[in-house]
Amino acid sequence: MTRPLTHNAANHDGLALCVLITCLAFLLTATSGAIAAPGITVSKRTMSAAETELAQLPPKSVWKRFSPTVNDAINGLLFLPPSKGGWVFYGRSGDRKKWILLTTRPDGTAIAADHEKLQVIDPGLARIEPKAIVRWWIFPKATVIDFGGHLLFETRKPKGWEFYWINADGLLPPRELYRADLEDGFMRLGFGKEDRWQIHSGTWELKQYGGGMPTTQAEAQSANYRRAANAFTLVGNNGETRYGRETWVNLYTEARFFFGKPHSYAKRDTLVNTVLGGEPVYADKAAIYQSNQIQEYPGSDFFVGHGMPNGYRTSFGWSAKDTCFQLRILTPGSPKWRVLKDWETRPFFGNWTRIGLGVLRGTRLMPFLDGEQLGSYPIAAFIHGPIFLVSGDGPAEADDVAVWSYPKPPKLGSPVFQPSTNFAQKELLERKDKQTGQWTRSELTFEEDEARMRGREMQLKRCQFPIYGDFTYQAGPELPSGEYCLALVNEHEKPYYLGFFKKTKRGWETSSGKPEFELEIGRRKGYLVRRVHGELEVLTSRRTSSTIWLVLGAKSAEALDVQHHRIFSRCLKHDLFQHAPSDWAWREGNFRMDVRWQCQRGWNFMMGKSRDVAVMYSKTAYGGDQQVEFYTALRFVTPPPYYVLRDMGFAFCTDGRSLASGYSLIYGDDDNKTTTLLRNGEPVASASHKIVHKPGANIHNYWWHGKVAKRGKRITVEIDDKIVIDYSDPRPLKGGHLAFWTFRNAISLAKVSVNSEQTKERAELFRQPVRSMPSGRWKPLNVDEVKLKRLGGGGWKATNQAGGGTFATRYNFSGKGSDLRDSPWLHLPLKLDRGTRVGVHLQISGKSFYYPLQAPVQGLRYLLTPEFEKREPVAIYRQLEFTEAQMQEFVVPGRHNSTQVSIDLRGIVRQRKGYRLQSITVGNSSNNGYLLLGAGGNDAGESYVVGQPKLGR
């Protein structure tokens, strides 16, 4: 065995070199080096720390302990090698079984040995970062060492490890790594100039919705300045844009991605306002007014990534070429990305999805879709540097980029008081805006209480949101001195807690006598607490009930200004649709930022519309007691009377696939004769309450305020602050997904607030496998709604993937269609499941006809034929629609059994020669008995088998 080195002044300068030569000689005696990668040689040998120290290292008297600490305020520390060469870095575990030893040669080669192997990295040959050096990254719970991005050493639990410098002259001070924190919704006028984004290649520009956003105080306050709830998104085309620093590491990056093609949009510089508040004029007027879902894949890649431009890089996102989500890595010097893993799944077409990528400590990749982690993948590299977005060859639309360092900073929850960014300052007009202030300024968050605190002459304000679970109350520093009261009460106003607090010029009084600058009170695991001098003091010895209401008291109106009383709840969630709607999913209808009034295109809100049923589900499921508030409106259409007053729908406690699976509210049911509450598809309560607006209000600007609450067995429905349904359910549903929906109509949503005892993210429910469309004439009308599978013998099996809907497939004849003159009978092989309710819809020479089969004629207003799809029904004109009596004229005779339908078209042929059959659609368009909602048939999983149509006599 090689003798240990001794240390004295004479050999000090050559110490590291001797150590290295001795170490290499010893380690390489047992095995020859293997080439792991170009420029990297790996040799294996097992040694203990004791053997290494005895044989390879000088006496411990010349070791210098290395024990940096990382405080919670920063992300970590970065150490660079000593300024003078000849250094050695050594580390060992507490049990002395593991160790690491590394140094660099004068030629720049890095040598790293540990208890199992020795690595030699030649920077001239290895694919690593240019000008590679050894770097020490110290995190609170890990230590990572890399050489030019090549991972040398990582310990996730450095506790118990000891690290030492040997011959470390010129040791440089550490560099603090600050936490990354970015939330960018692109609510501004430009991109890539003064916002720190760097456009590296391609084009990146803001896509504007409606009138965009106000840019001056005068525009913000103007009642006439037209604006959008979410004014801008980002569109990239064939390029890359970057943000951040070289030292960004140990972080998560996320962007919301539109799963479709941004066909047409207005750029900021194509929009001209003639006068303040004037109608915006678009250079590009080809705005999309599609009513039904646009079924197409994105035409371009979109990836979020992290890493240095010339170093190791990683990215996760959608590959348009491979039609899947991919996790990729790029090695320095390599021209192509290497795919680590792919996922053949996708969101519904036209939906938004959150694409996230976590790179934990620079060495572990964690891809996310809508907050769901798709695995954890260690790599033999170290990732650091700016984050970036990549768009492929074609436009890709994104929004709301977020970046944060691990661990994610804890949040107090959602604020109870949540005004709108773009609308809160807007002047409210007396007749036009009676409800607008309620959602733009959160005016109904607190209600004045006429009661007075006995003996104290205090004014009271009561928070209208029930509070479930943990919450935090903070008194703003702007509050004047005086006495304040905070009470927590149940729904019967019985107090669980009543506390009085006094503010003086010195601050808030405490039991210790030392004033506190801020007043913070909250609930943690059922106990009420107060933060005093950084610590939580328990205020009550017993747990409080889950559901409470908060009451504030003070002796002046100024002291009760709600903007100075901040309340946060972890069970509360607001959506003002100021961000891309990635928390929602739809497979039927089209939901997007769109025009509310056709004559004033500058006003844009979240809009849902469809020729059939438009349904938008929450990706989050809410359980237990819950309360949902929302502001909704109808879309303006022409000609007069301008609004389709029916079927404004809301559902809760659903399974996320069928509106007939939970509670479903229909405001304006039965052509606006009643308001109905369904439970699992069956009516359980109703009221003679029609869609009306309050007297004195302008219907063109009206927002209906809905509040639906479930507390125990009691279900209440309020519309415009009036309880219209109060239902007691002997077997209340436990919970589920929310949904907003309408039928052959269009609705706008301004704000949704959800408060519930329990929440569960279920984004995976709203994705489906990527599959190619089977060849053949039969096609589903909605590929997200119907799965079509080719069977043997010329048959096709159509399976409903969601409850209700049209459940439709179509067969298009080639050219002008098939002549019916000599073959006036249609014979169609068709076998239905027991719960399937469909009819046969025919288009013959541009006219529509119908054979009911198992679907009713009652409730029909339109047919599933191209004739009824010519107009975009809620863009400008009313929908092509008929009464039930008129629909009888479309019905044709025929006969059917369990395997075939035969339809007699002789009566049509006799009317006029030259009639041609153009298309056959099997599906349902009747909402009789709420069939389109999934009640009474067409459940998820129901199917039918259809074959090749034949014409004959």
What is the CATH number assigned to the segment(s) 771-952? 2.60.120
CA distances from 840 to 14, 791, 821, 834, 852 (A): 91, 21, 20, 17, 6
Name, in order, each residue with C-beta under 8 angstroms of 445's C-beta and a sequence gap of 6 or more. 416, 417, 418, 463, 464, 465, 562
Q: Once rounded to an integer, what is the mean pLDDT over residues 54-59?
A: 82
Instruction: Report pLDDT digits (tens) over 211-269.
Output: 889 989 999 999 988 899 999 999 999 999 999 999 999 999 999 999 998 865 555 44
The CA distance from 89 to 752, in Å, is 57
Q: Once rounded to an integer, what is the mean pLDDT over residues 263-280?
A: 44
Closest CA to 824 of 923, 924, 892, 898: 892
Closest CA to 504 of 537, 479, 532: 479
Within 432-581, strands assigned E span 446-449, 459-463, 471-475, 482-489, 495-504, 507-508, 519-524, 527-532, 535-538, 549-554, 565-569, 572-575
Residue 899 has pLDDT above 70, yes or no: yes
Fold of 582-599+609-762: Jelly Rolls (2.60.120)
Q: What is the pLDDT of residue 456?
A: 67
Q: Which amino acid is at 431?
A: R
Answer for the pair 624, 233: CB distance below 8 angstroms, yes or no.
Answer: no
Q: Once rounded to an integer, what is the mean pLDDT over residues 476-494?
A: 90
Q: Which residue has the higher pLDDT, 405 or 639?
A: 405
Answer for the pair 858, 906: CB distance below 8 angstroms, yes or no.
Answer: no
CATH architecture of residue range(s) 181-248+263-405: Sandwich (2.60)
Residue 25 has pLDDT above 50, yes or no: no
Instruction: Report pLDDT digits (tens) over 591-604.
Output: 998 888 877 878 89
Instruction: Report pLDDT digits (tens) over 848-883.
Output: 999 999 998 888 888 999 988 875 544 434 556 677
| Cβ neighbours of 775 (radius 10 Å) | 7
CATH topology identical between 15-177 and 771-952: yes
pTM: 0.93
Instruction: Report pLDDT digits (tens) over 184-212.
Output: 999 988 899 888 999 999 999 998 888 88
Using the structure block, give the residue that is written with the tokens 């709420």.
930
Answer for the pair 937, 931: CB distance below 8 angstroms, yes or no.
Answer: yes
Q: What pairs with residue 302 in β-bridges?
A: 318, 391
Please give the structure tokens belonging to residue 428.
């409210």
Residue 798 has pLDDT above 60, yes or no: yes
Q: What is the pLDDT of residue 292?
A: 66
Element (H, E) at 24: helix 15-27
| Cβ neighbours of 290 (radius 10 Å) | 16
Percent of the chain with pLDDT over 90: 65
Q: Once rounded to an integer, what is the mean pLDDT over residues 524-546?
A: 88
Fold of 15-177: Jelly Rolls (2.60.120)
Element (H, E) at 22: helix 15-27
Q: Once rounded to an integer, what is the mean pLDDT over residues 699-710?
A: 94
Q: Concatenated DSSP letters for 859-882?
A: T----SSGGGGSS-TTTTB-----
Q: What is the pLDDT of residue 32?
A: 45
Q: What is the pLDDT of residue 273?
A: 40
Closest CA to 953 of 915, 902, 914: 902
Closest CA to 841 of 807, 864, 870: 864
| Cβ neighbours of 216 (radius 10 Å) | 10
Please give the structure tokens belonging to residue 287.
């705005």
Q: How many residues does the chain have?
A: 953
- What are the φ and ψ backbone dihedral angles of 715, each rounded to 5 degrees? -115, 120
Q: What is the pLDDT of residue 275?
A: 34
**Residue 208: how many CA atoms within 13 Å on its side-chain side?**
27
The CA distance from 636 to 613, in Å, is 18
Name, in order, each residue with C-beta under 8 angstroms of 820's C-beta and a sequence gap of 6 or more. 844, 905, 908, 909, 915, 916, 917, 951
The CA distance from 398 to 389, in Å, is 9
The CA distance from 467 to 470, in Å, is 8
For the chain, which residues make up each domain, given as ranges? 15-177, 181-248+263-405, 436-464+469-570, 582-599+609-762, 771-952
Instruction: Report pLDDT digits (tens) over 755-786.
Output: 999 999 999 999 999 987 778 899 999 999 99
Residue 314 has pLDDT above 80, yes or no: yes
Distance of CA 126 to the CA centre of its chain: 40
Element (H, E) at 49: helix 49-56
Q: What pairs with residue 720 in β-bridges?
A: none
Closest CA to 319 of 347, 350, 334, 297: 297
Instruction: Report pLDDT digits (tens) over 510-526.
Output: 877 888 888 999 999 88
